[in-house]
Structure 1
Amino acid sequence: MDSEPQVTVLADRHGIVVAARCTDSTFRTRRLLLTSEEGEKWQNTPRAFNGESVGAGASDGQASVLVTHPESSDAEPGRYVSTLWHRDASAEWVAGQPLDVGRLPDLGVVPRRDQSVNALAPVRGGYLAAGRSLDPRAGGPVGALWTSKDGAKWSKVLTKKNHFDTVQDLLGAAELNGTLILLAEALPPTDAESGSEAESTASSPPAIRLWHGRYGSAPSALKSTGLAAFTGTWSWGHGSLTVDKTGSFIYRWRLFNDCETSPQPCDNAERWGGKATGELKPTADGRELRGLIAALSTPADGPLHEGARIKVALHPYNAVAVDVGEAEIGLFCGDWPGDLRCRAVHG
């Protein structure tokens, strides 16, 4: 019986990569690697990545990383040295430095051919690589995690300190605002727990464990406070808020009056007709801006009127919440390169 194909898809500013690896019942393997700049014209590039099979991949929309490996030998199945590749400003993929094997006496410190990567994930300030190490001292595989700031140099996270020796594989990772979730495959139950390890593993799927912890530092929107933290344009489908370095703001919203058929104020392709302006000042803790609406482009509309109080509050994932009077106007995302978390949550 043929195995299910292993497929990896990632997209960044340079284009799209689709990799597939299929194995038939005789363990013959075929590999397909397609690339495209715009998603319409595709090119088969079998010699890319030194002809190795592509495993996991990850992208933050700008830069990307992926892992490749050669086919393992019949004498040592499942053992190979993985290579982590990255690209950022250039469309060319560059091989990173060899994986950090760790430091003794920690567990999971083994030759690179006994370490593998299952999943890659973009995080604020870099990437995570999740996988496992085959360590005889631990009696078998243990979970393994690496971090990288640029996709080129990878550092191994301590295994025993983070209890990765209590699982046999880290299957995936995700991060939001420094909060990290890891998905792991637990060790098989012992004879005392299940009566028979062989019987248990044959009759039931592997148990899954989750880690919930912290990674890195808080995002700049929380570390930075005061007017500078709000400066820029924040937007979402219903409107946008622009705050300049002096505290002057422009809030725009859609009127649903087309300028081709309606008089001013109206919406056109460049900007929406609803417009409120005024001045904002930071609160004592620097986490909010407060002020008054000084002028409107339209007659008073619900909470929007001249003299209305406006409040802008920072949220911890590149977002601000805007209130006018007692009404919640909405949540708006910052358009900072490489930080897509607000749009991922609210998209």
Structure 2
Amino acid sequence: MAFVHSYQDDDDAPAAAATSLRRMELLLDPSLPQHLAGLALSQRGVLTTGQLLAAGLNRTRIHDIGRRDGWRTPLQGTRMVAVQTGPDASQDLMRAWNQAAALVLPHAALGFDSAAVEWGLVGVPRCDGVTVIVPPGKELRARPGLRVLVRPLTTHDVVSPWGLRTTSMVRTLADLLPTLDRPSGLAVLDGALRRRVRRSDLATARERARGSNGWRQVDDLWELANPDAETPLESRVRSRMIDGHLAPNALQQRLRDSSGRVYARPDMTIDRHRRRRPERGPLYIEADGRGPHGSPGAAYRDRDKASDLLADGADIERFTWDDTFDPMRIPWRLRRAL
């Protein structure tokens, strides 16, 4: 029998605006000790084998209950006894993996994509499992679901604001950016600025990233980051535009009518003077994600917005997530539209 709990994850407040209520469905039989439910909630739905044994279960019963109720084993010595059911279930699942690592690997630090999840950075490609960093001399054996990297760690590189040892924001960005493709890298940096990470911190991370594998291919992105890009998709589209020598002139430009009312706010704008057809107005670029633009109401709003823009002589090009995977598709369509 399962219990459904809604809970506020206050521990995540330093990393994200923890104002939305998360939902977790605990897969715990009512016959189990009551304190296990509270312990599971405080540990993101993860319990260790040691905690279950201390509650009076033996290994045979742990195995039988886990098989019946669908408990997962993210890492050896842990059991995921919950299903994340909130709007951010995918992110919450990765956070549960992080929790499992913190419970059984107290001397390791979450790093790279796993640390990015803790800091609330968006745009990072999802990876199953967890990535940890250990200093030289304290090597761990990699295992299914666990990626271990041996790197020097200073006292300033590791923080524990949520009770989990995690690389700092600067160290996380310095480690992560060189491992990403350019669209993902720009999405991460744009998102970091939206989270009010300071430009000076980005500059520090950039210096620390230099010399690592892959740093040259993303080195210019540190200066191109812009918090006005509202979603990872917008950042990815802009990255392809930049690489195609078609960088937009403005992001989220507010267009006003004669009364001063804002009637449209296109995601990106290429100014009129850059077009081969001077009789036309600006070229507006829209990044259409499935969530914000997938509902019938959004379709009507997009239609009305497009009508207003086209009435002023402008043109619109719309791009989806799939368009960003081909480095040539977006520049080709924009050059044709210009």
- TM-score > 0.5 by shorter chain: no
Which structure dedicates a bigger proportion of its chain to strand? 1
The structure with the largest alpha-carbon Rg is 1
Of structures 1 and 2, the one with the larger relative CO (CA 8 A, separation 6+) is 2
Question: What TM-score, normalized to structure 1?
Answer: 0.28
Which structure dedicates a bigger proportion of its chain to helix? 2
Question: What TM-score, normalized to structure 2?
Answer: 0.29
